[in-house]
Structure 1
Amino acid sequence: MDLGTLKESCSQYNNPSKVKLTYGTAGFRAEASLLPSTVYRCGLLMALRALKTGGVTGLVVTASHNPVEDNGVKLVDPTGYMLDQAWEAWANKLAAADDEDGTCAVVQELFQVEDIPYGSSTVMLAHDTRPSADALVKAAAAGVAAMGSLPIACGQLTTPQLHWMVRQCNAGLKHKEKAYYEALATGYARLVSGHPAPSEGLIVDCANGVGAAKLQVLADRLAPGLSAELRNTGAEGLNDCCGADFLQKERRLPAGFQDVPEGARCASLDGDADRLVYFQRRGAADEVHLFDGDRIAVLAALLVMDLLRSLITAEQPPPTVGIVQTAYANGASTAYIEEKLKCEVRVTPTGVKHLHAAAEEFDVGIYFEANGHGTVLFSAALVQRLHELGDDSGPAKALLALVDMVNQAVGDALSGVLLVEAALRRKKWGLPEWAALYTDLPSRQLKVKVADRSVVTTSHAETRVESPSGLQQLIDSAVAAAPSGRAFVRPSGTEDVVRVYAEAATQSAADDLARLVARHVHSIAAGVGLSP
């Protein structure tokens, strides 16, 4: 490494605004004009991570479900998963460096502390459809090149596509975008073979994001086996009154869906296509019946357990199956999983990195956050066992098709669509049968703007407040007064707000509980602006 060359490169990407960004659930996110220095330094970091691990790493420029004026960066380890949590501190330290001298000092420290060999590495780069993407990808590439490493421009991709490609590349397998479509499409075709397609097609809200073009390629490959009408596919209006996050929070029809008939089967992706929810219009107004991540997890579990029941033999112990949830999971879904499916539920803090790690502890680990981000993971031991059974077992072949179809690296809305469609098709179900599994407890989510989100700390998978003192007692009192009440608060991972979740026996009780808890947060945790 030539320190002089590195210093000169770093000087082109100093942080003139001195804004201190912090690593969130999956990376950094902010208004796009604030990001060039941080994205450049993430390029440095991922080149170093590739040198450390000896594998190819990845970087995606995206702000997911945020407004179009924002952008961000998500970092991909050689496994295809998110950046190792132990390296998040290095990401923060690099992002916080004042100037080129500070940046070079952190790089030198990283080499020494992590015992990184000198040499060249490779980082795969991708981006979504935001107009600010080109400049930020250029910054990331400059960071990679400054370390004497090779940036590979993969162009416009969904975030899960790059995760998949990095994982495949490091496994020595086909990893181009074309191979991604082939794996998902052939897996789906094998899984639904012999099961009639539904008479009505799927209508998909693509959030005017990168998922629109990618899902169209997939649908074209599967036609007529997957009939999908794509809406909100434009170059403008990213996440504007549309997308999975909008549906999950607002519970009303997205833009462009006012003409959809009641009961039609609809789905919605988010801006970078790593979240998925299903929905149907309810009544003449804009109200919707939402099928969120909780329901997708239950449907996935039903599919997996149906296949495993036919696979289990007396000679070998049954594979372990677990569903991983966060505190945001509706209490009715948890009760159904435990009481009806007799399946283990593991609760973790919010954030895919926590759910993914817990899911890996099972032979089949199913995780979906309520917001629709999730996947189904299969252990290497189970996959080997399925291959050994081979053509002699129909259930084994179906499960292997599922392994190919469902992104094993990270939550993926495109493979999620195929998962839901395959599960419904194999059970000969429509949305009414899926909805009838259980009835959600009414819930409400709010957020409270605060001066500093770090003053709120939590424990017990974010269900209990540790600080500030007295807040948890106020929440407990509010919950005790609400019928079938449950509530918790947690600091956002991306902005200075505290998120409030409440559920109760009726919608009005849930609304009242959420507002009361939000007022307590505003009062105790230095809320900004008017009290809710």
Structure 2
Amino acid sequence: MVEGQLVDELVAKYCTTRGYRYSYGTAGFRDDAGRLDTVMFATGIIACLRSIALDGKPVGVMITASHNPASDNGVKIVEPDGSMLVQTWETRATELANLISSGSAAEIRRRIAELVTSAADVRPRLVIGRDSRVSGPHLLECLLGSANSLFQAQIKDYGLVTTPQLHYLTSRSLSVDGPVEEEDYFVDFSSAWNEITRLHDVERLPSAGLVVDCANGIGGPKMHSFIPRCRVLSEATTVINDNCADALSLNRGCGADFVKTNQRLPDGIRDTDGDSRLYCSFDGDADRVVFYYLNEDNRFQLLDGDRISALFAYFIAQLLEQSGLRSVLSMGVVQTAYANGSSTQYLQNHLKVPVTCTKTGVKHLHHEAVTHYDIGIYFEANGHGTVIFSDHFYATLRTQTHNSLATKTLKLLPQLINQTVGDAISDMLGVLAVLSILKWSPARWANEFTDLPNLLIKVIVPDRSQFITTDQERKLISPEGLQEKIDKAVSKFHSARSFVRASGTEDAVRVYAEAATQQEANELSAIVSKLVLESCYK
């Protein structure tokens, strides 16, 4: 039995945030860093219990707040195979964090002692990483406070890594005997890039160069370590916004979320007249990426997650046709309600690729892709996603006796694209490989379809929990009557749609509007936003 005095001492030392309600959202716990010590202590317990329940398999813990401001932080738990924590354990994590935050000392002591004592005689194994936020070391200390003191966990701390690296390293720790080092990540993905570009005789990028905006996050130093290993890229790539030592600059005026939301170049890019380069932006922990370029009129043109999905679908469909496997292997694209309507029509009508819609959050897209397709392509419009290949895919490729160029390329794609989670670096490599093989310029990529004009805004509300959705978050069932008013507003515009969903991290709702012209989209957005606010103050 764990001594009650030890539990009391640990809670007093590490859990200063009391009386606060926590929620494990689509990307784990995330909040102002000053409120997270209690959550981190609880996460150490839950992560250890999850490892014990899986007979000591490695469980990952990543301390990050992704694209959020530098003052925020968060934590997510990773399954041994590199996937997101199963949802039943999300509930356990939330319940324990809220018990420690709001329960009585006796209740907290009893529950923690019960959890630790009921655990099997297995030493838990944790794989830990964090992004570059200044709050990271303190929050790590709170996590280790429970993991070490209550469980004597076996811990591998990789220090500063990207979120996709942590997912990858957790998965590799499960599958490989012996030590797993960060170097393995660089070697595996750069080797796949070098092999596929040699296979297709790629000696230059189809643009005048590549500029990578790293959001002043941990992706900056990782890119500097990675690029010299990659043929073609080492001479053609410029890395900007790579100062992760400047805490306040993280995601400020740069990064994937800034570029996507503001539809403009990030800070740090100059001398763009006559530019024919391809640009991309990561977010703070390098698990999402968006691309963009300047057209012949020197105007900003975004190539977001919808475009990335379409590019991969176009390319892989060709490979399946050329290898004679299109009728053997199923391929589909998973989207959310935020996907532009034109991208859905392009995939379904032009490429004849099935499209599935699911709730926002990469864990939902990943599950849908894995469950329904041999080749599941999923990207949220914000650039978070990957391409997942099934066991049936691998088994089928192993039986192919005719090793054509298309077949060889199909075999290399899963090595080039991170199979555990969306990864800005490996997704960037995948996109660059496809563009180089197809010999497509950024403009050629953009011309595959024309986005319907749209607008996404945030509306602050007193209580986001009253906004309850159905139909994969495309329709509201609460507040009562609001959806009917939205439908009536949408009917007044051409090729229009609009939906409202609650934020997962703050008391706000997201209002998305899409229409035939930007003016109509803006007008529709204003009408729906007003309806949202009116529903809050009836």
Question: One-letter code of the match for 2:12?
Answer: S
Q: Secondary structure at the match of 1:389?
A: coil
Structure 1 residues 283 and 309, CA gap change in structure 2 (3 angstroms): closer
Q: Secondary structure at the match of 1:300?
A: helix
Number of the residue aligned with 2:241: 232
Q: Distance in 2 between matches of 1:282 and 1:394?
A: 33
C-alpha contact (below 8 Å) 2:17/2:35 kept by paired residues: no
Q: Does the alignment pair 1:256 with 2:256?
A: no
Among 317, 338, 342, the residue aligned to 1:332: 342
After superposition, residues 18-417 of structure 1 pair within 5 angstroms as 18-54=19-55, 55-97=57-99, 98=102, 101-107=106-112, 116-145=119-148, 146-172=150-176, 175-193=180-198, 194-198=201-205, 200-226=208-234, 227-234=236-243, 235-236=245-246, 237-261=249-273, 262-282=275-295, 288-312=300-324, 317-360=327-370, 361-389=372-400, 392-417=403-428
Structure 1 residues 271 and 102, CA gap change in structure 2 (3 angstroms): farther
Question: One-letter code of the match for 1:137?
Answer: L
Q: Secondary structure at the match of 2:400?
A: helix
C-alpha contact (below 8 Å) 1:387/1:396 kept by paired residues: no
C-alpha contact (below 8 Å) 2:194/2:231 kept by paired residues: no
TM-aligned CA deviation for residue 23 of structure 1:
1.1
Q: Distance in 2 between matches of 1:61 and 1:462?
A: 28
C-alpha contact (below 8 Å) 2:464/2:502 kept by paired residues: yes
Structure 1 residues 147 and 338, CA gap change in structure 2 (3 angstroms): same
Question: One-letter code of the match for 1:278?
Answer: F
Q: Distance in 2 between matches of 1:391 and 1:169?
A: 34
Please identify, of 205-214 and 18-27, the stretch whose mean Cα deviation from structure 2 is larger.
18-27
TM-aligned CA deviation for residue 14 of structure 1:
2.4
Identical columns (%): 39
Question: One-letter code of the match for 2:300?
Answer: V
Structure 2: gaps spanning 5 or more residues = none
Q: Deviations over 1:44-76 (max 9, x none)?
A: 110111001121001111110011011111211
Question: One-letter code of the match for 2:514?
Answer: E
Q: Deviations over 1:82-101 (max 9, x none)?
A: 11011111111111012554
Q: Distance in 2 between matches of 1:253 and 1:310?
A: 38
Q: Distance in 1 between matches of 2:533 and 2:11?
A: 41
Number of the residue aligned with 1:2: 2
Structure 1 residues 513 and 310, CA gap change in structure 2 (3 angstroms): same
C-alpha contact (below 8 Å) 2:77/2:85 kept by paired residues: yes
Q: Distance in 1 between matches of 2:176 and 2:34?
A: 37
Q: Distance in 2 between matches of 1:29 and 1:183?
A: 31
Q: Distance in 2 between matches of 1:106 and 1:354?
A: 31
TM-aligned CA deviation for residue 312 of structure 1:
2.1
Structure 1 residues 437 and 105, CA gap change in structure 2 (3 angstroms): farther
State the TM-score, normalizing by the size of structure 1.
0.94
State the Cα RMSD in Å. Answer: 2.0
Number of the residue aligned with 1:453: 464
Structure 1 residues 120 and 101, CA gap change in structure 2 (3 angstroms): farther
Question: One-letter code of the match for 2:239?
Answer: L
Q: Deviations over 1:458-496 (max 9, x none)?
A: 000000000010110111011011111110000011111
State the TM-score, normalizing by the size of structure 2.
0.93
Question: One-letter code of the match for 1:31?
Answer: D
Q: Distance in 2 between matches of 1:294 and 1:76?
A: 26
C-alpha contact (below 8 Å) 1:390/1:396 kept by paired residues: no
Q: Distance in 2 between matches of 1:244 and 1:51?
A: 37
Please identify, of 251-260 and 381-390, the stretch whose mean Cα deviation from structure 2 is larger.
381-390
Structure 1 residues 472 and 303, CA gap change in structure 2 (3 angstroms): same
TM-aligned CA deviation for residue 103 of structure 1:
3.8
C-alpha contact (below 8 Å) 2:116/2:151 kept by paired residues: no
TM-aligned CA deviation for residue 137 of structure 1:
1.1
C-alpha contact (below 8 Å) 1:244/1:372 kept by paired residues: yes
Q: Distance in 2 between matches of 1:419 and 1:293?
A: 13
TM-aligned CA deviation for residue 125 of structure 1:
1.0
Structure 1: gaps spanning 5 or more residues = 528-532
- Counting matched residue pairs gives 522
C-alpha contact (below 8 Å) 1:93/1:106 kept by paired residues: no
TM-aligned CA deviation for residue 111 of structure 1:
6.6
Question: One-letter code of the match for 2:191?
Answer: T
Question: One-letter code of the match for 2:329?
Answer: P
